[in-house]
């Protein structure tokens, strides 16, 4: 265990406790801003010492391990490109030793190359890395190139468990706070490799029954178009919904807007779901902007299909360990776990307003967590009528024209269209 871990764990614990208060709309100490700042600065020092790529990046900007927060904002933010800028031939030729060496440049720990033998596909590579305590998630980027995000056990735990501190803890619970029975419909594929799939696993964890709209496990072969004849379980999906209605327990539906739209098109007449049923969407429309519905159009479609449904939309990125959910006022609330920043077109920092969104994640301790997202939105610190305090993203979140439009949602949607 390195010299920074004890400090990081203590600071992260304070951030989580503050986030739990924030979720319950209680006042949090102004000191939390300083705690978040200290966590980010310790991560910077740790990245500088342990991550070769970050060390090179800092030195190329004529900075060192003592950079302050403003310097990080202005000089040391990184785009998601660093997680997908390997040579494409390595993947085509199953050169996983070369890919592992490339991955090590973005990671805080050594990776044993002698364990990377006789690997024929990405799934085997992921399993081999997991045996070394490295949890590899992937998403897709330009020309379908996969992004690879390496998490150590602490960072992976943050990804999996942090939601319990910032997620709404009032849905489908009794007066004692006990979760009541519900069924879960995942409007998507099986699997856990993509970040957005991790959200589905978390939401379905306590469900009585779980149904997937597709039987196939989404893996790298499917994303790259090597798996054909993918069909949705349209009939079984409708039967699952009808059975849930008969059982009179709430139904939780989770998926990208594109797949939820596909689900709605499969339903010929309105279905009145049990009380307290909920739809959670995330990932945006990505490459299917030509099929995108406005927020009002989408909510209208949901109400026409499921007249009594509640709806929450979520925003995240595979590189960060947090999700921002929308409230009834269509604002995406950023938990105190994350430090947001907004840039103008020339990449100068703004106090707030519309621009390119940057996110600094204090819980990304195994890879650089200072991310330029490539997404544009309006960042605001003004009070929200819903009662939650702090930063919000307001209005439509759109992809910068300079960025390719993919991500987790884009991968799933493109896979579906390509393999029909």
Listed by start position, the domains of the chain span 175-317+416-420
Distance of CA 175 to the CA centre of its chain: 31
Give me the pLDDT at residue 406, please: 45
Render pLDDT for 26-59 as a digit per residue (tens, 0 to 9).
999 999 999 999 999 999 999 999 999 999 999 9
Which residues touch 338 (CB under 8 Å, ≥6 apart)? 320, 322, 359, 360, 361, 362
DSSP string, 44-55: HHHHHHH-HHHH
Q: Which residues of the chain have pLDDT under 50?
A: 142, 404-420
Contact 322, 335 (CB under 8 A): yes
pLDDT score of 231: 64
**Look-up of token digits 């997937």:** 212
Position 285 scores a pLDDT of 67
pLDDT tens-place string over residues 346-370: 999 999 999 999 999 999 999 999 9
Q: What pLDDT, on the 0 to 100 scale, is given for residue 228?
A: 53
- What does pTM read for this prediction? 0.86
CATH 3.40.50 fits 175-317+416-420, yes or no: yes
Q: What is the pLDDT of residue 366?
A: 97
Report the alpha-carbon angle 23-25-27, nearest 5: 110
């Amino acid at each position: 265990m390195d010299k920074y871990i004890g400090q990081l764990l203590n600071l992260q614990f304070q951030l989580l406790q503050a986030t739990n208060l924030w979720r319950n709309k209680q006042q949090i100490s102004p000191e939390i801003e300083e705690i978040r700042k200290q966590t980010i600065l310790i991560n910077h020092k740790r990245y500088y010492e342990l991550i070769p790529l970050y060390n090179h990046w800092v030195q190329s900007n004529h900075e060192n391990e003592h950079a302050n927060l403003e310097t990080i904002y202005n000089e040391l933010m990184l785009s998601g490109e660093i997680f997908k800028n390997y040579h494409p031939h390595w993947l085509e030729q199953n050169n996983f030793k070369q890919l592992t060496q490339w991955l090590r440049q973005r990671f805080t720990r050594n990776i044993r190359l002698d364990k990377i033998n006789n690997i024929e596909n990405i799934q085997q590579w992921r399993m081999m890395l997991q045996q070394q305590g490295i949890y590899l998630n992937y998403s897709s980027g330009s020309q379908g190139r996969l992004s690879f995000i390496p998490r150590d056990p602490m960072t992976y735990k943050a990804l999996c468990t942090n939601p319990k501190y910032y997620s709404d803890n009032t849905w489908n619970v009794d007066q004692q706070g006990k979760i009541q029975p519900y069924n879960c419909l995942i409007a998507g594929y099986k699997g856990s490799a993509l970040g957005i799939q991790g959200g589905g696993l978390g939401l379905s964890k306590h469900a009585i029954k779980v149904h997937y709209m597709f039987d196939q496990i989404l893996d790298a072969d499917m994303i790259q178009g090597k798996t054909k004849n993918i069909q949705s379980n349209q009939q079984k999906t409708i039967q699952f919904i009808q059975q849930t209605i008969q059982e009179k327990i709430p139904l939780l539906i989770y998926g990208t807007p594109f797949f939820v739209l596909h689900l709605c098109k499969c339903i010929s007449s309105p279905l009145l779901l049990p009380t307290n049923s909920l739809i959670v969407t995330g990932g945006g429309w990505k490459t299917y902007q030509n099929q995108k519905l406005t927020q009002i159009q989408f909510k209208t479609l949901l109400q026409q299909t499921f007249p009594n449904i509640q709806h929450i939309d979520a925003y995240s990125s595979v590189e960060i360990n947090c999700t921002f959910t929308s409230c009834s006022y269509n604002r995406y609330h950023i938990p105190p776990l994350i430090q947001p920043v907004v840039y103008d077109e020339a990449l100068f920092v703004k106090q707030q307003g519309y621009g390119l969104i940057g996110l600094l994640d204090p819980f990304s301790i195994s890879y650089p967590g200072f991310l330029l997202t490539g997404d544009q939105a309006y960042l605001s610190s003004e009070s929200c009528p819903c009662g939650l305090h702090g930063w919000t993203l307001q209005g439509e979140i759109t992809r910068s024209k300079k960025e390719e439009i993919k991500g987790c949602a884009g991968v799933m949607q493109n896979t579906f269209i390509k393999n029909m």
